[in-house]
Each structure stands twice: as structure tokens, then as C-alpha cells.
Amino acid sequence: MPEKPMPPENPSPARSAVRVLLRLWPYVRPVRGRLFTAAIVAIVASCLSLVIPLVLKWMVDGPITDREPSGVWLGALYLLLLGIAEAVLFGYRRWLVARPLAGVEARMRADLYGRLQRLPIAFHDRWASGQLLSRGTTDLMLVRMFLAFPLTFLLVNGVTILAGYVLLLAQDWSLGLVLLTPVVPLVIVCSLFESRYGTVARRAQDQVGDLTTVVEESVLGIRIVKGFGRHRSQARAFRALAELLRGTELTKARLLAMIWAVITVVPELAIGAALVLGTVQVADGDLSAGTLVAFLSTALALRWPVESIGFLLAMSQEAATATERYFEVMDATEEPDTSAPSAVDGPEGVRFEGVTFRYPDAPEGTPPVLDGIDLHIRPGETLALVGGTGSGKTTLTALVPRLHEATGGRILLDGEDIALMDRERLRTLVSVAFEEPTLFSASVGENVLMGAAAEAGEPELRRALGVAQADGFVDRLPQGTETQVGEQGLSLSGGQRQRLALARAVVGKPRFLVLDDPLSALDVHTEARVEAALREVLRETTALVVAHRPSTVMLADRVALLSRGRIAAVGTHQELLRSSEEYAWLMSGKDEGNEK
């Protein structure tokens, strides 16, 4: 199955993870109080673990040396209370951040969804749907996990390590200096790791998007896959992408294993050296046994903060990549939405003046899809648009509701330039029905009433279903208009979906109606009934109808022939049959396999 091209990979090797993550601040700011409180609580809880070595020093140099059991029990009670306090504080920290961070994720997801609705069709044509889905699911989950854990614990562990080294130097400066020796090599290794891991993390997240696209297309196109026996080729495509992702994830795992090994081994060597040196000092009487126990206990308490740096940096890099991918969509240019007051004396219909269109990503030098279209649809008139495959009919109809923006010329509705109209107002004036009917996972009534004002109800719904000759089959559905049609309406036949799409287009009694071959999936008997009802609707509106068959053309007052992106002829059906060989050939239906 054809895939949309994926946007070019955009990881900048020199990009600053900190600068990228700072873009989350507008979302974090409303909950900064709770996050700051949670960080303080976590710092206190973490630093409590550094008090335990001091209690051990007191126990060894005091009650244990003096053989006082009561003192040992008192020390054990202190240790128990410190452990309970630490556990309670960490639990309180988690409670503090859980609800607000779920809210942050929800706001980001809502903003992403809203942005996707406002981005132009050209954007959606370029981006694979799986890439967009992965940004709204996996990437936002990574961002939430970063805010919940690494963001706090990079600070907490940093403060804990600093406080711990102060205690170590205070207990014995020579042993403290031994434990400080790994700092410089660890900083260098972490810097190299961060750069390499960020690149691999970006690659993995892009590959997740590719895999999501394949899964989505296979599910939505399951009838094609099964009908043509393509399940094996689809499975091969899936396995290839899955293997690619597996290889990238293994690369991430190897990098993480390497940094974990370095961060674990180097401090352990320093602790071993400090143990040997400390033992010699105790034997020489230069250091008390309690001080050595406290020193080693403090060093061991710092193992987790130090060892966690590797995976905290990894999670931060993944979050930075996820944030970068999220803002790639949020930074995309929205549809321009300028408006200006109308100064129209009366209805003038639809007018195309020198309209040109070229797709934004078309190769340089490619001729425009539409080139200098001049056309006038009079008020209350129905104009049929006829042309061969690839002539630009669907593109022309998409320009009226501004699904695409004309690259030259202008389109006027009752004398008002649509480029200067508020897009929401424009789309209340213009209603559309596409050749490929799209229905949503909602009831029949909800799908149809999407084309009406918010106050529309049952009378408008029944009228629209009658016009589209859909009331008969809808009434036979299990719950009538309340029946859920399922994803993309695939529980209905093609003709039923097309009739509901037509009903949606006419339910709001629009001033301007754009129909892209709305009857192509109907049998001849249903088509005749729909045409008879549609004529009544067309008398009350100004309409542009893409037509492929003479029966659809007969709905129109006039016909425009579109050929190679230009209007080749305009007239009545009979006039064009006499004057245009191309039109006569198109209407004859002969040699369609050689259609230009």
C-alpha cells in the first residue's frame, strides 16, 4: 500500500537538550509550585540517608565500643525511624507530582490535537499518520516520565552527591579526595554518552512512528490486504521495520550498558582504594573505626545517586528528542487566517479569476496543476465540472473551502475574496461532499449533523437523509439514526457511506455547495431517486459539481470542461457535445483505459 513520505529526520547533533527541554516551561509553569515542593521533599528524603552513617559512627564509637546494649537498641530505633521517614517522604513526593503531570500531558496532547486541526492539508499530505500518532502517544509519555522522575532526581541526586562529598571531606579529607578522583573521567564519559545516545534515541522514535504507520495502514486497509492476499508482504514490511527498530533499541541498550558499567566500576575502584587506605589509618590509630564505618557507609549511600546518572541522562535525552519531535508539529505554519469586511451589494455567485495552483512540495519546474482558471458560477446556478483523470477537478473544488490555498489569482464568493474571509465563516457558507466519503466512529445522526449548525436537530436530519435517499436503510439499522457506524463507517456499504456523506453536505442548507462526484457508488435506481431529490436542493444554492457521467451532468445548468489544468470550454451539455470532441469522448465512456 502506498505510504506518505515521512518528513526528513531533523535531529541536530549540536542541539542542546537543556534548550529543547526548556520549551516545556509554559506547560510546567502552572504546576511549578507542586514540582518545586516535590523536589524539596525528595532532597530531604535523600539527605536523610546520609544521616544513617552518622548514626552508625555514633553506635560504633559509642555503645558498641563501650558494650552498652541499650545504646545499640536506641541507635537501631533511630535507623528505623530514619528509614520510615525516608519512605514516607518519597511516597509523598510521588503523590505530589502524579496528578499535575497527568494534567500537563493532557494539555500537551490537547494542544497537539488542536494544532493538527489547524494545519493545512499540505502538511497532512507530507506527514505519515503514524509519525503524528507516535508524537501524541509515545513521545508525550516520555515527556511525562521525564517530568516525574529525571527532572527531579537529576537535581536531587546532584544535591545528595554534593552534600555527601562535603560529609566525606569533613570525616577525613584524604579519603574524601580519593573518592573525588573519578569525577573528571565520569564527566567526560557522560558528555560523550549524552551526544551519541541522543542521536540513537531520535532514530528509534522516528522508527516507532514508521512502525505505527504500517500497523495503522494494515488495520484500516485490512480488506485490501485480505482481498489481494497481501498479508505476507505486509508482514514482511512489518518485520523489516520491527527488526530495524530492534537493532536501534539494542544500540541504545549497548550504550546504556557501557555508561552503566563505567559509572559503576570507576566509583567502586575509588571506594576500594579508600577502604584500603582507611583500614591502614585505623590500624595506625589515625582514624577511629566508627569514622571509617561512617565514611564507607556514606560512600555506599552515594552509589545509587552516582550510578543513576547514566539512565537519568538517557531518559532526559529521550525526553529531549520527544520534545523536539512534539514541537516540530507545534512549530509548523498554520493555515493563514486573515479577514476583511465585505462590501458586496448583492449575490454574485462564485467567480474564479486567474486561479493558479501548484502543490507546495512539487519539484522545481513542474507545471502547475491549475493554470489561469477563469470561471463564473452565477447565483443559484449549478455548474458541472468535467475532465479527464488528472485534469485537476478535485484540486479545483478543494480551493473553494480553502482546503488548499490558491498560489495565484483569487476566488470570490458573492464578490468577497475567500483569502480575506475568516476560515470558520467561509466553511459555514460552503459545504462539501467528497468522492471518498469519510465517516467517523459515531452514530449516523452525529455524522450527518456535522454539516449543520449546532442547533440543528431531528427535522434537519430527517430532511437531509431524505434528500440523500438514506432514510430507508437508516431506519432499518438496529438503532436507526443512533446506530454507531464504526471506524470510517466500514460497517456500511460504499453506497450507504456516500449517501450519508451527501446528507451531511446538504443538511445545513449551505449557500454554496461543492460536490465531488457524489453519486459514483450508487446503483442506477438509487442514483435516479437521489438526483430527483437533489434537484430540489440545487435550486436553493449555488453549486459546483464534479461529474463523470451524463446522468450527473444533467443536474447542472451549465458545464465547464477542464483539460490540462485549464478551462477548455463552457456551455450547456448539448452545446459541448456539438462543439468539443474531448467532451463528447468523455461523455461517451469509450476507451476509458486510454483516458488522458
pLDDT tens-place string over residues 134-155? 888 888 998 998 888 888 888 8
CA atoms of 575 and 558, how far apart (whole Å): 9
Max mean pLDDT among 359-373, 492-506, 565-579 falls in: 565-579
pLDDT tens-place string over residues 507-556? 888 889 888 877 776 777 777 777 777 787 888 888 898 888 888 888 88
Sheet holding 350-357, edge to edge: 370-377, 350-357, 408-413, 416-417
**Cα→Cα distances 273→178, 281, 435, Å:** 7, 12, 77
Cβ–Cβ contacts within 10 Å for residue 464, how many?
A: 27
What are the phi and psi torsion angles at 10 (to 5°)?
A: -125, 30
Supply the pLDDT for residue 143: 92
Partners of 385 in the beta sheet?
546, 560
**Are 186 and 266 contacting, i.e. CB atoms less than 8 angstroms apart?**
yes
* 6-15, 35-44, 250-259: least confident range: 6-15
Cβ–Cβ contacts within 10 Å for residue 182, how many?
A: 20
What are the phi and psi torsion angles at 73 (to 5°)?
A: -65, -35
Q: Is the pLDDT of residue 14 over 70?
A: no
What's CA 536's distance to the chain center, in Å? 43
CA atoms of 114 and 205, how far apart (whole Å): 22
What's CA 445's distance to the chain center, in Å? 28
All three cell numbers of 157, joined, read 541526586
Max mean pLDDT among 2-11, 101-110, 200-209, 285-294 falls in: 101-110
Supply the pLDDT for residue 558: 92
What domains can you pick out in the chain, each with its CATH number?
A: 21-330 (1.20.1560.10), 350-436+507-594 (3.40.50.300)
**DSSP-derived pairing of the beta strands 382-387 and 408-413:** unpaired
Supply the pLDDT for residue 356: 93
The chain-wide mean pLDDT, for the chain, equals 81
According to the 3-state scheme, what is the secondary structure of 64-105?
HHHCCHHHHHHHHHHHHHHHHHHHHHHHHHHHHHHHHHHHHH
Under DSSP, the state recorded for 63 is I
Average pLDDT over residues 88-107: 86
Q: Which of 384, 405, 352 is nearest to 517 (CA)?
A: 384
Q: Which of 122, 121, 139 is nearest to 130 (CA)?
A: 139
Q: Is the pLDDT of residue 3 over 50?
A: no
Q: Is the pLDDT of residue 595 over 60?
A: no
Supply the pLDDT for residue 66: 61
pLDDT tens-place string over residues 63-83? 766 677 777 788 788 778 888
Partners of 416 in the beta sheet?
413
**Are 560 and 568 contacting, i.e. CB atoms less than 8 angstroms apart?**
no
**pTM for the model:** 0.72
According to the 3-state scheme, what is the secondary structure of 263-328?
HHHHHHHHHHHHHHHHHHHHHCCCCCHHHHHHHHHHHHHCHHHHHCHHHHHHHHHHHHHHHHHHHH
Amino acid identity, position 546 = V
CA atoms of 540 and 537, how far apart (whole Å): 6
Q: Is the pLDDT of residue 327 over 90?
A: yes
CA atoms of 372 and 355, how far apart (whole Å): 5
Better-predicted residue by pLDDT, 223 or 108: 108
Helix H or strand E encompassing 115: helix 69-118
CA atoms of 527 and 515, how far apart (whole Å): 15
- SS3 label, residue 386: strand
What are the phi and psi torsion angles at 455 (to 5°)?
A: -85, -5
Portion of the chain with pLDDT greater than 70, in percent:
90
pLDDT band per the 50, 70, 90 thresholds, residue 366: confident
Supply the pLDDT for residue 8: 44
Average pLDDT over residues 216-245: 77
Supply the pLDDT for residue 339: 52
Q: Is the pLDDT of residue 239 over 80?
A: yes
Quote the radius of gyration of the chain (alpha carbons, Å).
35
CA atoms of 66 and 85, how far apart (whole Å): 29
All three cell numbers of 478, joined, read 438496529
Amino acid identity, position 540 = E
pLDDT tens-place string over residues 396-443? 998 998 888 888 999 999 888 988 888 888 888 888 887 777 788 788
- SS3 label, residue 576: helix
Classify the phi-psi angles of 437: left when phi > 0, otherwise alpha if psi is within -120 to 50, otherwise beta. beta
pLDDT tens-place string over residues 154-211? 888 888 888 888 887 887 777 778 777 777 787 788 777 877 888 888 888 888 888 8
Q: Which of 142, 155, 72 is nearest to 101 (CA)?
A: 142
- SS3 label, residue 207: helix
Under DSSP, the state recorded for 476 is T
Under DSSP, the state recorded for 41 is H
What are the phi and psi torsion angles at 68 (to 5°)?
A: -115, 100
What are the phi and psi torsion angles at 571 (to 5°)?
A: 175, -170
Amino acid identity, position 131 = Q
| Count helices and strands in the chain by DSSP H and E runs | 26, 10
All three cell numbers of 335, joined, read 493555515
What are the phi and psi torsion angles at 355 (to 5°)?
A: -75, 125
CA atoms of 153 and 204, how far apart (whole Å): 25
Supply the pLDDT for residue 11: 47
